[in-house]
Copies of this chain bind each other. A is one copy, B any other.
């Protein structure tokens, strides 16, 4: 994998020119994506910014995020060849920082659950996860140092874990969703994929113009180890990876204790699909009304069922979410971060994109979630570090501490 921080160090030292870095990325995409299916299209050749804190950084943009210089197809034939007029806000920001949004990455249709054909770089019989499939796979395969995804259920953290890369789903609306195809306006969150936590911290601090995100320190954090029993059981090797991460954190100076989330969180977890699908049926109303037959086999029926949801059910689900959010805020006075699994287990077969059940509560809470890989010899596993709303710097600092402790183990 390519480290953004390392690349930038070489560029700042004058050992690599930004245009050479971009040319190299372009070549690597063309040569090495063939078996992966992560990249849909690349930007036209053009001048490469020589200045800016992200100059020389090629970025993959999930194909539900608008780009003015490349088609944006939302993973669906309904938008075949569709060319937005403007860049999404986050894409414009990347350009302002000197980065080059170089490629559109494969997404499931409208960021839903139907697989999109990208394979896991560790084993082509397995899914890279979804819905940000191409972004996770492209970073994992070393094609790009940075990629954007979005998460409504678990579409950033899950594919990152399946592909063995680091990722952050930041606090809700820290990165604007302007120009991002909506599935659920209360949930959709733009996130980042990179080789490691320092790369994520650098990129996020610059994108949202908050330098403290990169300089936050972990200290000796109090970590709440949490199994999310209401979501069912994780696989044995995911639980073993979680234990291993907890022990590594302790060796690095953390205090770890067990946390059982109160009943209100089980209710909020159960409310997530109601919030998501009631909004999705409105957000995708034009697609359902005019192109129902073109919707894929998981998403189509999901939106059909969503027509039955009532406003009263939606309001009750939002109240459940609100209650849990308030309670979580109070609970964070007793610990600095929650440590939990990033996914049920290793990447399942290519027939699915996996399951978001260990992610969706945190998306609904709007809190920052970071996943770091737990090294191993088979398909990757990840652990998830969750901090309080707005404390993305702390989530990254603690994740960085755990990542370093795990790498030190070998």
Contacts and interface: CB of A to CB of B under 8 A. Distances in A.
A93 B86 CA distance: 25
A264 interface: no
Contacts of A68: 286, 290
B208 A283 contact: no
A230 interface: no
A68 B210 CA distance: 38
Given A79-B85, A208-B311, A311-B210, A289 B92 contact: yes
Contact of A173 (B185, B285, B287, B289): B185
B89 A282 contact: yes
A68 B85 CA distance: 15
Contacts of A32: none
A210 to B, nearest CB: 5
B93 A285 contact: yes
Nearest to A89: B282
Interface string A371-392: 0000000000000000000100
Interface string A81-106: 01001110101110110000000000
Nearest to A93: B285
B176 A289 contact: no
A63 interface: no
A173 to B, nearest CB: 7
Interface in A168-202: 173, 176-179, 182, 185-186
B289 A209 contact: no
B178 A283 contact: yes
A93 B173 contact: no
Given A85-B79, A85-B82, A93 B282 contact: yes
A290 B208 CA distance: 20
A285 B92 contact: yes
A279 interface: yes
B79 A285 contact: no
Nearest to A186: B173
A390 B311 CA distance: 12
Interface in A273-287: 279, 282-283, 285-287
A288 B282 CA distance: 30
Given A176-B279, A311-B209, A286 B82 contact: no
Interface in A232-276: none
Contacts of A315: 390
Contact of A176 (B96, B177, B283): B283
A86 B86 CA distance: 15
Contacts of A96: 285, 289
Contacts of A87: 285-286
Q: Which of A68, A91, A289 has the most CB of B within 10 A?
A: A289
Contact of A178 (B89, B176, B179, B185): B185
A285 B185 contact: no
B85 A282 contact: no
A86 B286 contact: yes
A86 B208 contact: no
A213 B174 CA distance: 33
Interface of A: 68, 79, 82, 85-87, 89, 91-93, 95-96, 173, 176-179, 182, 185-186, 208-210, 279, 282-283, 285-287, 289-290, 310-311, 315, 390
Given A79-B85, A96-B285, 16 more contacts: A87-B286, A89-B283, A89-B286, A92-B285, A95-B289, A96-B289, A173-B186, A176-B282, A176-B283, A178-B182, A178-B185, A178-B283, A179-B286, A208-B311, A209-B310, A210-B311
6 contacts: A86-B287, A89-B282, A93-B285, A179-B286, A209-B310, A209-B311
- By Cβ-Cβ distance, the 5 closest A-B pairs, closest first, are A92-B285, A86-B286, A87-B286, A92-B286, A178-B182
